[in-house]
Amino acid sequence: MQYRTLGRTGIKVSPYALGAMMFGRAAGVGNPDHDDAIRIIHRALDAGINVIDTSDVYSYGESEEIVGEALRGRRDKVVIATKFGRPMSDDPNEQGMSRRWIMAAVEGSLRRLGTDYIDVYQVHRLDPGTDVEETLSALTDLVRSGKVRAVGSSNTPVSEIVEAQWSAERRGLERFRTEQVAYSILNRGVESEVLPAAQRYGMGTLIWGPLAQGTLTGRIRKGRETDLRRGAFFKHISDERRLDVVEQLVPLAEKAGLPLIHLAMAFVTAHPGVTSALLGARTMEQLEDLIAGFDVTLSAELLDRIDEIVPPGTDVGRLDQDYRTPPLLDAALRRRAA
């Protein structure tokens, strides 16, 4: 395993990380078997993965609890990344980026993870109702107290990445050292600005959705009904534009002698702005399939062919879980009052 440096933090991480979103109840599609999830985590660590990414909101804390159980006796060898900010209850103050919630949220995550520090503490999604300097100030205190080693952001528009960096410099605060972003062959829009901005500011990147939420597994083909396509959690799989691209990628992968999942993962990790790509394995079989492709690299010719199918900087359709900024969700923010 060739380890990479996470931005300018000095932390060495594997080019593949284990995403723990599917451990626990996870909206009815996750793996609720704690013992099985722990075995998956241990197999990933034994394969050389040293990063596990989770969030307080994944199965409302259950994912963090599973990770904590799995890392007993191995915690110091693992980089734990977790997130906060998404609603944890109906209480309006148990969410967001306020100092009040950050200080409560971090204690909950530390308790569930069974650790006294978090390596990378990430804002799940920026909160337009909280000044970013308020958030950075609270996160700076956590770093100085030793409860957090580095702080990061997730699903952040490039304008807000830049603003957060400037705010940190202006106020002498801890800055976001990482960005977690959706990136795959089908979602290349971040190549235009987000990934270059992360490189410009020396931010490490953790990539989610490298298999486009299952679309690039090779199990989902146009005109074929599968359990995945019927699942309400995977509405995007009905997008025929994305499936049309898959039909072009399958023969490309076959010609190269690769499973489609290995082509898709190797494509993401080939970008110089990518530090580590998350493997969202729910079962041991899925993890083993992904581990088998750890050594795959793509030739320039193969990358050129992918560029012809999906031009750089473009998206094919949209992920269900893609972050949409408030003006896109609230009509009042993009219309003048009458």
CB atoms within 10 A of CB 8: 13
- Is there a contact between 148 and 174 (Cβ–Cβ < 8 Å)? no
Is the pTM of the predicted complex or chain greater than 0.85?
yes
Secondary structure of 240-304 in the HEC alphabet?
A: HHHHHHHHHHHHHHHHCCCCHHHHHHHHHHCCCCCCEEEECCCCHHHHHHHHCCCCCCCCHHHHH
Residue-level pLDDT at 230: 42
**pLDDT tens-place string over residues 249-277:** 999 999 999 999 999 999 999 999 999 99
Question: Active-site residue 58, yes or no?
Answer: yes
Residue-level pLDDT at 93: 96
**Taking Cα atoms as reference points, which of 83, 150, 146 lies closest to residue 112?**
83
Residue-level pLDDT at 1: 79
Residue-level pLDDT at 235: 54
Please give the span between the terminal C-alpha atoms of the chain, in angstroms, as a whole number: 60
Among positive and negative, which fits the CA dihedral 217, 3, 161, 140? positive
**pLDDT tens-place string over residues 212-232:** 989 999 888 877 655 554 444
Domains, the chain, in order of start with CATH, read 4-214+267-295 (3.20.20.100)
- Is there a contact between 152 and 180 (Cβ–Cβ < 8 Å)? yes
Residue-level pLDDT at 325: 73
Please, what are the averages of pLDDT over each run of 10 residues along the chain (338 residues)?
95 98 86 96 98 97 98 97 96 96 98 98 92 97 98 96 97 98 96 98 97 90 60 58 94 97 98 97 96 97 98 86 72 79
Residue-level pLDDT at 232: 42
Residue-level pLDDT at 332: 80
Q: What is the DSSP letter of 50?
A: -
User: From the candidates 16, 58, 121, 201, which is the catalytic residue?
Assistant: 58
